[in-house]
Amino acid sequence: MSTDTKPDIAIDRSVGDFSYDVNYEFDAGTGLSDKTIDYIADVKNDPDWIREFRHEAYRKFLEKPMPTNWASKDLDNIIFNNIRYYLSQGTQPKRSWDDVPDEMKQTFERLGIPEQERKFLAGVEAQFDSEAAYSNIKAAVGEQGVIFVGSTEGLHKHPEIFRKWFGKVIPTGDNKFSALNSAVFSGGSFIYVPPGVKVKHPLQAYFRINAESFGQFERTLIIADEGSEVMYMEGCTAPKFETSTLHSAVVELVAMKGAKIQYVTVQNWSPNVFNLVTKRGLAHEEAEIKWIDCNIGSRLTMKYPGVVMKGRKARGEVISIALASDGQHQDTGAKMIHAADETTSNIVSKSISVGTGRATYRGLVHVPKHLKGCKNNTECDALLINSHSRTDTYPSITVRGQGNSCQHEASVSQISEEQIFYMQQRGISEGAAMSLAVNGFVNDLVQQFPMEYSVELKRLIDLEMEGSVG
């Protein structure tokens, strides 16, 4: 990846807080029923097996209970019949920014997406509510045989690859929200990287919620064939509305023998968004899947990226940062399932709780007794900014058998008053001093983010720290 430039990616809160009035060509209305499912399937011209898949998922959604952890009371605020499940101006994405409808083009221009594409990306997909408004891949990358299209286009144009893996990493009935996504999914990315191809520059998707009382349910599937490498980055924003907004994605990654996938997320949702996402990767022999996750904003986030290490010497890693401000819950973590000998997993989680914000780490590591030579490292560090802040850690680590190793470290700390006082004596304001302390706390993780995002992450933290003093 080129590191000679630092593009100014506009992901700060003030940039994302706007919306446009849009006349949608397709609108499923409010509420969820079999009729809603059929409307979506008709508009998208789904094959019969997908229509059946959707209806079966809807039945499982009705059967599945809400999650029963601490967040269950907050989830009661989601009224599924008040949500709009499908809104679009058309199902075919444009290949040129000039062809994108004006209000959508203005949105992505304000967010800086076309500029990012010109500067450092190998391909871009920009989703506006339910469908991709723009999707394009650089010619040189496409000539290598790399496929980067929306999920609908992947389903119709590459069914032999799509159907083989779709829904195989994350079963429909995995949880209530994966079932909901499976019933009404629309948008998201489909990527296939042929054997031995190493994509030098990142592929990026940008997910924008524009409409009020809306639910966004993108579905992403990435397959890296033997010996290939790819980095995928996603950004997310939504304007502030008085009503609740739901974002419930499903992401499935498949890394074949010796392949490497890096999946980078920077979410900057507004505080009315419920962000309930299921992400999981399947790593075959000597493959590597790495999730790099930054969770800022939203009313409630529940997200636990996972890796199933199916092949010998496979490796899984989750690097995450969560910042919970006033009235926000960040319930994040990781799941590592060792299913072969000599597999390695690494979890590094850092959280910051500001004001009345609450951050929770929820992790799962499983090594069965018949395996040998497996290793896990888990680190959970939390920083409290105020006396009302809260942090919780719920690690579940099961390591059986002989010849396997595991280490777990956790810490909770508070910003030192002496440190803040020392910086103030040297002319630094209290707010700036707090930002320096927080950025220092996460600096080792921020360095693992692509350079194109690391600078903006620090700016975003600075914005969140404004007003935290007192």
Cα–Cα separations (whole angstroms), residue 96 to 91, 100, 138, 378: 15, 7, 12, 44
| Domain residue ranges in the chain | 13-303, 418-470
Q: What is the pLDDT of residue 257?
A: 98
Q: Taking each helix axis from N to C terminus, what angle separates 176-184 and 48-63, rounded to the nearest 10 degrees? A: 150
- Whole-prediction pTM: 0.89
The amino acid sitting at 103 is E
Per-residue pLDDT of 378-401, as tens digits, reads 999 999 988 788 999 999 999 998
Dist. CA 333–CA 351, nearest whole Å: 10
Per-residue pLDDT of 340-376, as tens digits, reads 999 999 999 999 998 899 999 999 999 999 999 999 9
Dist. CA 290–CA 198, nearest whole Å: 16
Question: Mean pLDDT for the chain?
Answer: 86
Per-residue pLDDT of 248-265, as tens digits, reads 999 999 999 999 999 999
Query: How far is CA 357 from its chain centroid?
Result: 20
Which pair of structure tokens corresponds to residue 194? 């042929």
Beta bridge partners of 147: 192
Q: What is the DSSP string of 381-397?
A: EEEE-STT-EEEEEEEE
Q: Which residue has the higher pLDDT, 415 or 261?
A: 261
- Beta strands 250-255 and 273-283, pairing class: parallel
Q: What is the pLDDT of residue 470?
A: 46
The backbone torsions φ and ψ at residue 231, rounded to the nearest 5 degrees and listed phi first, read: -115, 130
Closest C-alpha to 17, from 180, 237, 177 = 237
The backbone torsions φ and ψ at residue 36, rounded to the nearest 5 degrees and listed phi first, read: -60, -45
Element (H, E) at 296: strand 288-297
pLDDT score of 451 more than 70: no
Question: Residue 377 in contact with residue 346, Cβ under 8 Å?
Answer: yes
Contacts of 240 (CB under 8 A, 6+ apart): 17, 270, 271, 272
| Least-confidence region, from 14-18, 326-330, 459-463, 465-469 | 14-18
Q: What is the pLDDT of residue 287?
A: 98
Contacts of 250 (CB under 8 A, 6+ apart): 170, 178, 181, 182, 185, 219, 220, 277, 278, 279
Dist. CA 111–CA 339, nearest whole Å: 41
Dist. CA 117–CA 105, nearest whole Å: 14
Dist. CA 59–CA 179, nearest whole Å: 8
Q: What is the pLDDT of residue 145?
A: 96
Rounded to whole angstroms, the maximal C-alpha distance in the chain is 69
Per-residue pLDDT of 214-238, as tens digits, reads 999 999 999 999 999 999 998 877 6
Q: Which residue has the higher pLDDT, 266 or 57?
A: 57
Q: What is the pLDDT of residue 171?
A: 95
Q: Which residue has the tokens 């990306």?
A: 121
Per-residue pLDDT of 100-120, as tens digits, reads 777 777 777 776 667 776 766
Q: What is the pLDDT of residue 318?
A: 97
Cα–Cα separations (whole angstroms), residue 437 to 288, 319, 320: 33, 20, 18
Q: What is the pLDDT of residue 125?
A: 83
The CA-based angle 65-392-365, given to 5 degrees, is: 70
Per-residue pLDDT of 169-198, as tens digits, reads 999 999 999 999 999 999 999 999 999 999
